[in-house]
Structure 1
Amino acid sequence: MPELPEVETVRRTLEKLVIGKTVERVSVLLKRIVQLPDDTEAFALLLQGETIRSVERRGKFLRFMFDQYTMVSHLRMEGRYGVYGADENMEPHTHVIFHFTDGTELRYKDVRQFGTMHIFPLNQDLSELPLKKLGLEPLDDSFTLEAFRDKLGKRATKIKPLLLNQEYIVGIGNIYVDESLFLAGIHPEREANTLSKQEQAKLYEAIVATLNEAVAAGGSSVKSYVNGQGEIGMFQHQLKMYGRKAEPCLTCGHAIEKTVVAGRGTHYCPKCQPLKRPKAKRSGS
Structure 2
Amino acid sequence: MPELPEVETVKRGLAPSMEGARLERLELRRADLRFAFPEAFAERVAGRTIRALGRRAKYLLIDLEDGATVIAHLGMSGSFRIEEGAENAIPGSFHQARSKDVKHDHVIFHLNGAGASRRVIYNDPRRFGFMDLVRRSDLDLYPAFRDLGPEPTGNAFDAVYLAARFAGKSQPLKSALLDQKNIAGLGNIYVCEALWRSQLSPQRAAGTLVTKGGKAKKELVDLTEAIRAVIADAIAAGGSSLRDHIQTDGSLGYFQHSFCAYDREGQPCRTSGCHGTVGRIVQAGRSTFFCASCQK
Q: TM-score, normalised by structure 2?
A: 0.87
SS in 2 for 1:64: strand
The equivalent position to 1:167 in structure 2, one of 181, 206, 219, is: 181
Query: Does residue 1:98 correspond to 2:118, yes or no?
Result: no
Matched residue, 1:245: 265
Match runs of 1:1-285 below 5 Å: 1-33=1-33, 35=35, 38-39=38-39, 42-68=40-66, 69-85=68-84, 86-87=87-88, 91-101=102-112, 102-196=116-210, 197-251=217-271, 252-274=274-296
Q: How far did 1:34 drift?
A: 7.7
Q: Which runs of 4+ in 1 moved over 6 A?
A: none
User: Which region of structure 1 is more displaced relative to structure 2, 255-264 or 79-88?
Assistant: 79-88
Q: How far did 1:194 drift?
A: 1.6
The one-letter code matched in structure 2 to 1:11 is K
Contact kept, 8 Å, 2:172 with 2:206, in 1: the verdict is yes
Q: How far did 1:27 drift?
A: 1.3
Q: How far did 1:170 drift?
A: 1.1
Contact kept, 8 Å, 2:61 with 2:70, in 1: the verdict is yes
Unaligned runs of 5+ in 2: 92-100, 211-216
Distance 2:37 2:241 in 1: 32
Contact kept, 8 Å, 1:2 with 1:76, in 2: the verdict is yes
Q: How far did 1:36 drift?
A: 7.2
Q: How far did 1:222 drift?
A: 2.1
Contact kept, 8 Å, 1:178 with 1:266, in 2: the verdict is yes
The one-letter code matched in structure 1 to 2:267 is E
Matched residue, 1:279: none
Distance 1:80 1:186 in 2: 34
Unaligned runs of 5+ in 1: 275-285
Contact kept, 8 Å, 2:178 with 2:186, in 1: the verdict is yes
Distance 1:210 1:38 in 2: 36
Per the alignment, do residues 169 and 153 of structure 1 end up closer, same or farther by CA in structure 2, a change over 3 Å counting?
same
SS in 2 for 1:31: coil
What is the RMSD of the two structures over their aligned residues, measured on CA atoms?
1.6
Distance 1:18 1:2 in 2: 21
Q: How far did 1:80 drift?
A: 0.6
Q: TM-score, normalised by structure 1?
A: 0.91
Contact kept, 8 Å, 1:65 with 1:71, in 2: the verdict is yes
Q: How far did 1:188 drift?
A: 0.6
Per the alignment, do residues 17 and 192 of structure 1 end up closer, same or farther by CA in structure 2, a change over 3 Å counting?
same
SS in 2 for 1:53: strand
Q: How far did 1:106 drift?
A: 1.1
Q: How far did 1:123 drift?
A: 3.3
Q: Percent identity?
A: 36
Q: How far did 1:217 drift?
A: 0.8
The one-letter code matched in structure 2 to 1:216 is A
Distance 2:24 2:34 in 1: 18
